[in-house]
Amino acid sequence: MKVAFVLGEDSADRIGADLLRHLKRQAPGEVVAIGLGGPAMRGEGLQSLFDIEELSIIGVGAILARLPKLLGRLNQTIAFLRAERPDVIVTIDSFTFTNRVAAKLRPSLPDTVFVNVVPPAIWAYRPDRAAKLSKAVDRTLCLFPFEPEAVQRHGGPPATYIGHPIMADPHIADILERDRTNGLRTPSTSLTLVILPGSRRGEITRLMDDFGRTFADLSRRLPNLRGVLPAVSRVRPLIEEKLQTWSVRPEVVEGEEAKWRAFAAADAALAASGTVALELSLAAVPMVLAYRLDPVSYRLRHLMTGWTAALPNFVAGHPLVPEHFHETIQPEHLARRLERLMTPTPERAAQMAGFEAIRSAMTVPEPPGAAAARIILDLVAQKKTGAEAPV
Same fold, 2-163+364-385 and 170-362: yes
How far apart are alpha carbons 92 and 5 in whole angstroms? 8
Output the pLDDT for position 64.
Answer: 63
Output the pLDDT for position 26.
Answer: 97
Q: Fold for 2-163+364-385, please state it.
A: Rossmann fold (3.40.50)
Output the pLDDT for position 56.
Answer: 67
Q: Please provide residue 201's backbone torsions phi and psi, each rounded to the nearest 5 degrees.
A: -60, -40
pTM of the predicted protein model: 0.78
CB 154 within 8 A of CB 124: no
Nearest to 7 by CA among 42, 24, 163: 42
Output the pLDDT for position 233.
Answer: 87
How far apart are alpha carbons 156 and 149 in whole angstroms? 10
Output the pLDDT for position 306.
Answer: 74
Would you give per-residue pLDDT tens digits along the chain (391 residues)? 999 999 998 889 999 999 999 999 999 999 999 999 999 999 999 999 999 988 865 555 556 666 778 899 999 999 999 999 999 999 999 999 999 999 999 999 999 999 999 999 898 888 999 999 999 999 999 999 999 999 999 999 999 999 998 887 778 777 766 665 555 555 666 899 999 999 888 899 999 999 999 999 999 999 999 999 999 888 999 999 999 999 999 999 998 889 999 999 999 999 999 889 999 999 999 999 999 987 777 676 766 667 888 899 999 999 999 999 998 999 999 999 999 999 999 999 999 999 999 999 999 999 999 999 999 999 999 988 876 655 5
Which 3 state secondary structure label does DSSP give 144? coil
Output the pLDDT for position 199.
Answer: 85
Domain residue spans in the chain?
Answer: 2-163+364-385, 170-362
Which 3 state secondary structure label does DSSP give 195? strand
Output the pLDDT for position 303.
Answer: 62
Q: Which CATH architecture has domain 170-362?
A: 3-Layer(aba) Sandwich (3.40)
Nearest to 147 by CA among 163, 136, 135: 163
Residues 120, 276, 221, CA angle at the centre, nearest 5°? Answer: 140
